[in-house]
Amino acid sequence: MIILSGGTGTPKLLRGLKNVIPEEDITVIVNTAEDQWVSGNLVCPDIDVVLYTFAGLIDERKWWGIRDDTFYTHEALKKLGYHESMKLGDKDRATHVFRSKLIRSGYTLTEATKRLRSSLGVEAKVLPMTNDPVATMICTPEGKMHFQDFWIAHKGEPDVLDVRFDGLDAAKPTPEVMSVLSSEDTIIIGPSNPITSIGPILGLKGIVPILQKKHVIAISPIIGNKPVSGPAGKLMKAIGYEVSSAGVAQCYADFLDVLVVDQRDDCALPDARVVKTDTIMTSLAESKSLARFIVELTNY
């Protein structure tokens, strides 16, 4: 089963899915446009949440970082007068150090991720969308800033005028991504931010034409007129989409076949089939139940 993912909503579904089908049957294509070099190391928030979720390490209170991690290095740096833009846990930092060492010695991000998978005992295939650098930039009245600076330092508060993906036009999807996408008839788009998590994957050359030939099932991250969490609503509005499941369907209009919408949501869509179920995953049981529903839809 192939799933496109960001770093919060879809990993909650993956937490359930790995209990419903064999983990080695799962392939996740992950957004890399929120990656950032911090203190000399490459942090890949979405890849790491996916890896930590499969490895059973994810901090499920925040949906980033490792459970029970410590922050001694981050705090020591602060005492020295250096304020890191992302609060990196000590164990989490080890992931970034290892990944960056591999990348500096010539590994691609795909190869480095494969090494991390194997070190963490992750059996699912975790594929970065590209090996090329792409950066989500948020245009605000205070200037253009990296997504992480908008979200962490500015707490997601500035008005959003536009969203840009620096490097996306020149970036190529990896051969692994292209090959895996060609190998299956059904593709799942998890309940992720359609603008900043799925948008960059769709923006890579060649991805949309492949999806147009597939049966695409997406799960809406919006219930009523609000996202379950995060800045998806603000970003959708800024780009001109309605903040609703209908707006999500519009983001995917070029290829969407089925939209899975929460049962509390009364949306109806003219151009895609809507199926309803409970999509809120606050517990493992809810993640498993939504995963079972998706597996049945795909005739896995």
Distance CA 264, CA 228 (A): 12
Q: Does 148 bind ligand GDP (CB under 6 A)?
A: no
Distance CA 148, CA 43 (A): 11
β-strands 186-189, 215-219: how paired? parallel
Binds ligand GDP (CB under 6 A): choice among 173, 203, 230, 247: 230
Number of H helices, E strands in the chain: 12, 14
Distance CA 44, CA 46 (A): 6
Among 80-88, 120-128, 157-165, 226-234, the segment contacting ligand GDP (CB under 6 A): 226-234
Q: Which long-range contacts (CB under 8 A, 24 or more apart) does 75-84 make?
A: 77/39, 82/39, 84/38, 84/39
User: Which partner, ligand FO1, ligand GDP, none, binds residue 221 by CB below 5 to 8 Å per kind?
Assistant: ligand GDP
Q: Does 34 bind ligand FO1 (CB under 6 A)?
A: yes
Closest distance of CB 45 from ligand GDP, Å:
7
Closest distance of CB 193 from ligand GDP, Å:
3
| Contact characters 116-155, ligand FO1, x per CB under 6 A | --------------------------------x--xx---
Among 43-51, 125-133, 181-189, 205-213, the segment contacting ligand FO1 (CB under 6 A): 43-51
Q: Which of 103, 3, 99 has its CA nearest to residue 53?
A: 3
Distance CA 64, CA 112 (A): 19
Q: Is the CB of residue 275 less than 8 Å from the CB of residue 269?
A: no
Q: Does 173 bind ligand GDP (CB under 6 A)?
A: no
By CB under 6 A, name the binding residues for ligand GDP: 5-10, 12, 46, 191-193, 197, 219, 221, 227-230, 232, 279-281
By CB under 6 A, name the binding residues for ligand FO1: 6-8, 34, 43, 45-46, 48, 64-65, 86-88, 92, 148, 151-152
